[in-house]
Amino acid sequence: MSKNYGLYINGKWIKSTSNKTFETKNPATGETLASFPLGTKEDTIKAIDAAEKAFPIWKRTPAPKRGDIILKAASIMKERKNELGEIVSKEMGKIITEGKGDVQESIDFLEYIAGEGRRLLGETTTSELQNKFCMTVRQPIGVVGCITPWNFPTAIPCWKLGAALVSGNTIVFKPATLTPLCAAKLIEIFEEAGLPAGVLNFVTGSGSIVGNEIVENPRVKAISFTGGVDAGIDVYTRAAKLLKSVELELGGKNPQIIMDDANIDLAIEGVIFGAFGSQGQRCTATSRLIVHEKVYAEVMKKLIERTKSLKIGDPLNSKNNMGPVSCEQQVKTVLKYVDIGKKEGAKLIFGGRQLTDGEYGKGFFVEPTIFEAKHGMRITKEEIFGPLLSVIKVKNYDEAIQIANDVEYGLSSSIYTKDVNVAFKAIDDFETGITYINAPTIGAEVHIPFGGVKNTGNGGREAGTTAIDEFTEIKTVCIDYSNKLQKAQIGE
């Protein structure tokens, strides 16, 4: 029997003023997993009230103590990794190894960011005046809004929540409506870890109601948003009217280049994982494979063989390599782009169908799909967010890089080559925030910055040493112990 959840506001699970609910379902079976309230503007304001009230005390809590609570949450997650991983797989559809990987990434980041409680580093510098000391300190921003997507339903929330909390902020958190159960489990864990009431508040519901109030309420001082480009631009422009700090992590159209000297077998394993892992539903997924003409035939032969060997089915079955896409709309999107590719003259090499027979009948299963395409076709330029790979033949490195960069996104990139000179040139030439050499476009590690350029974001980075940048203000402090008025930049 599925559980009925409430909103989590000021340390309590409460009903919504709407008295309306929605269900979260298993995309493999259609099974109802839980029900959640459709939050209202009034509910969101209550959450903001609670966060605002809790902020002064949480801000004054020593940062190492804040880190201790986050570390405790990581410890609880570690104990429940298998259970949580199954929930990720059931609610989002990624296979069980990736579901557990989602949780492991959450654990890793919370452990990492907990240590920031003993850093939160500023800097010291010399003054141009005698007997004067200059330094910077980090301070929390206040109430922050965290709006997260469904494709990494524990990891991305933990990236945001962990960094915001250790920095001393209080939070209003709106998860994706496709994966609220994973988010609710995180709330329960933070509560169990000892997070004070009001510090973390959880409101489920639509972006047009709950999300809009978070973005437009002047008491929410900063927004951290991961999602689609159109939604991100909307969030950014509306928040800008209030001069809010906004951090965006948006889409990708990520290229993997295979040069003529590459380890072909390794490169094939990389693109299979990059393109079809999580059913292609990663912002870092490999959606374009750019192949040197000298190895093109070999690459295609091996790529098709490996793709045909992939097993699709119940994501909890460890023998399967792919589960369902997340929902019916994702099926429609992928099939729409299959039709677009055919109409534009791309050659469908494999896949392109929804699976509906037998065990697939109750879920949203789509075959891994490969097109031979020419650069400029829509399937090579637009984010699809599904298991659809476009393969493009090129004559040389320069053409490969030109094609790789000729999209509106700039998140992740990859090149397979044994030539160290080419590798280092690619690091400089790729117009992306992340570059991999002889590794797939996916595989972010929590202790290194994550983010992109162009329409992928607006300049910030999550995770790593930069994780707290979006959740802290820099205060410059000058201490004059000369016992006289000193005037900087003013001559004698």
Instruction: Record the tokens describing residue 487, joined without a space.
Output: 């005037």
CA torsion angle for 430, 434, 438, 442 (degrees, to 10)?
A: -130
Q: Which element (helix H / strand E) includes 400?
A: helix 397-405
Which of 249, 367, 383, 462 is catalytic? The answer is 249
Per-residue tokens: 189: 């864990």
431 classed as catalytic: no
Written as one string, the DSSP assignment of 133-188 is EEEEEEEE-SEEEEE--SSSTTHHHHHHHHHHHHTT-EEEEE--TT-HHHHHHHHH
Helix 63-79 vs helix 81-92: crossing angle, to nearest 10: 80
One of 146, 283, 383, 470 is an active-site residue; which one? 283
Q: What angle do the packed helices 63-79 and 155-166 form, to 10 degrees? A: 160
Tokens 């509106």 — which residue? 408
Beta bridge partners of 215: none
Which secondary structure element, helix H or strand E, spans residue 213, and what is its range?
A: helix 212-216
* Complete DSSP assignment for 307-368: HHT--BS-TTSTT-SB---SSHHHHHHHHHHHHHHHHTT-EEEE---EE-SGGGTTS-EE--
Q: Is 372 a catalytic residue?
A: no
Q: CA-CA distance, 259 to 416, in Å (whole number)? A: 6
Measured CA to CA, the distance from residue 207 to residue 204 in angstroms comes to: 9
Q: Which residues contact 234 (CB under 8 A, 6 or more apart)?
A: none
Q: Using an 8 Å Cβ cutoff, are 387 and 322 in contact? A: yes
296 CB burial (10 A radius; 0-12, 13-18, 19+)? middle
The span from the CA of 337 to the CA of 330, in Å, is 11
What is the rounded radius of gyration, in angstroms, for the C-alpha atoms of the chain?
24
The residues annotated with a catalytic role in the active site are 249, 283
